[in-house]
Amino acid sequence: MSRRPSSSSRPASVDEREPERSVSTESDAVCPPRGLESQVGGAGKAVRLRGSDDAEERLAFLASAGELLSSSLDSGTVLQRLAELAVPLLADWCAVDVLTADGRVERVAAAHRLAEQVPLVHELARLQPLDLTAEGGIPEVLRTGKAALLPEVLDAMLPGVVLTEAQLEVARRLGIRAGLIVPLLARGRVLGALSLVRGDSDEGPGASDLELALELARRAGLSLDNALLYAEARGAQQRTERLQAVTAALSRAATAEDVAEALMREELRPTGPARGAVLGMLEDGRLHVLGSFGYAPAVLDTLRGLWADQVPGVDRALEQLEPQWFSNPAAVPRAVPEWAGDFVQGVGTGAWAVLPLKVEHRIRGFLLFAWDGPQVFLAEERGFLSSLAQQCAQALERAALYEALRERGGKLHLALEAGKEAEERLFFLLEASRALAEHLDDVEWTLEHWREWPRETWPRTAWWS
């Protein structure tokens, strides 16, 4: 339903009531909520809970649905329960589509009164991803946040509802006779849409059906909002714990190689990158590999000895002193030199990032990460990797200071040893001088006394006689 249908089947926009929120999927079997057993028929029996039914039954349904939806803090479970609540009470089959963080539309949950038909609902979206700029149907609901009603869709109108021949075949197998689409809202934002389709009914949905669907979507939005907030808080806690673990490991690193080894040992793959490298930069601007994971040796050999301003991506990080994020290799802003072909090929066809290891106004090196597929870097991921780079830069700075202290300590030790040796020589010379002086005194005393003796007392056998 991503193209504007013909005039007789064009959705009528209906203003939504309250904003709420949604996301993700799971396919756990969900039993009807308490109090709904009498309203749910056997397999394949599409018992309708119409807006014209007894108001007490509608309230009971919504109360039980709200209780079931709010019982989970997993957004995927909430979405799947929403789909299974809607079938067959409100539709023959339904689908839940959500807006992802990178702006795509993803079908995350589906239900059909015939369980074997559920894969076809997902196949319908897989064959042609939804275009948010298209008019009518799900894209328009996601853009405007307003519900859309298709009171009747004839077989001849199907080519105007779907985009491709393959989709048309799947749509005919599922059956599309009428339907309505309601938004899933949270705090003023549209996060998804619930599509309710009747495939073999002669009677299309009316205003009372739309009202009931909106109330169900509103309750689902509340539950999904809670689930998403919980997931965000849990993700933030996990990132904090991981950063603390990496920081603790880096604090024990005494050399640049120890810093790289600590990062590799902490294993960065859970943060998303499939490959990573810690590059050090020498005083003259040349690069050397301190550590890596996932990269082929040939890629690392390409980097060794190169100047930082020669490497694609690294040159921008060096010039701007800021992290560089590339959704894919084609995002590199300038032509890649022929020699760098092996490097770019080694990076892969997915997203990659270069983060400078900056301390004050000096760069100690770079972190190079690569992913297996294209992606949009979310603020949370950028923040985590930037914090990781900051911790790594500080660790490299400490390692450089340790190395300088070791060198100074070594020189001081040599100087002390030389001084000690000189002192020992000086003491030896002093002792020798003292002994020589004493000996000379004895000789002088002897000569003086010999002169005082009478000559006749000298021995006759003296050599001078």
* Domain membership flag for residue 445: no
Gap between the Cα atoms of 45 and 54, Å rounded: 20
Residue 262 and residue 208 in one domain = no
Contact 129, 166 (CB under 8 A): no
Strands 287-293, 12-14: pairing is unpaired
Gap between the Cα atoms of 359 and 67, Å rounded: 53
Residue 73 and residue 180 in one domain = yes
**Which of 200, 231, 262 is at the close of a domain?**
231
Residue 268 and residue 188 in one domain = no
Say whether 249 sits in a helix, a strand or coil. Answer: helix
**pLDDT for residue 335:** 53
Q: Kindly list the averaged pLDDT for each block of 10 residues, start to end, along the chain of length 465.
A: 37 40 36 38 42 68 83 87 87 89 85 90 84 83 88 59 74 83 89 87 75 89 86 83 79 79 66 79 85 80 79 84 80 57 64 87 85 80 85 82 71 72 75 73 64 60 51
**Which of 356, 372, 403 is at the close of a domain?**
403
**Which of 373, 403, 433 is at the close of a domain?**
403
Q: Which amino acid is at 206?
A: G
Residue 152 and residue 44 in one domain = yes
**pLDDT for residue 194:** 93
Q: What are φ and ψ of residue 97, in 5° steps?
A: -115, 140
Residue 178 and residue 47 in one domain = yes
**pLDDT for residue 246:** 79
Residue 300 and residue 225 in one domain = no
Residue 223 and residue 287 in one domain = no
Residue 56 and residue 201 in one domain = yes
* Domain membership flag for residue 422: no
Residue 38 and residue 187 in one domain = yes
* Domain membership flag for residue 124: yes
CB-count burial class (<10 Å; 0-12, 13-18, 19+) for 440: exposed
What is the strand order of the sheet 352-359 is part of? 287-293, 275-281, 362-370, 352-359, 324-326
Nearest by Cα to 98 from 158, 134, 142, 155: 142
**pLDDT for residue 269:** 54
The residues, ordered by sequence, that sit 6+ positions from 17 with a Cβ below 8 Å of its Cβ are 214, 218
Q: Which residues pair with 182 in a beta bridge?
A: 194
Structural domain range at position 317 = 252-403
Residue 296 and residue 197 in one domain = no
Contact 110, 122 (CB under 8 A): yes
Q: How many residues does the chain have?
A: 465
Residue 25 and residue 63 in one domain = yes
Number of compact structural domains in the chain: 2
Residue 222 and residue 256 in one domain = no
pTM of the model: 0.63
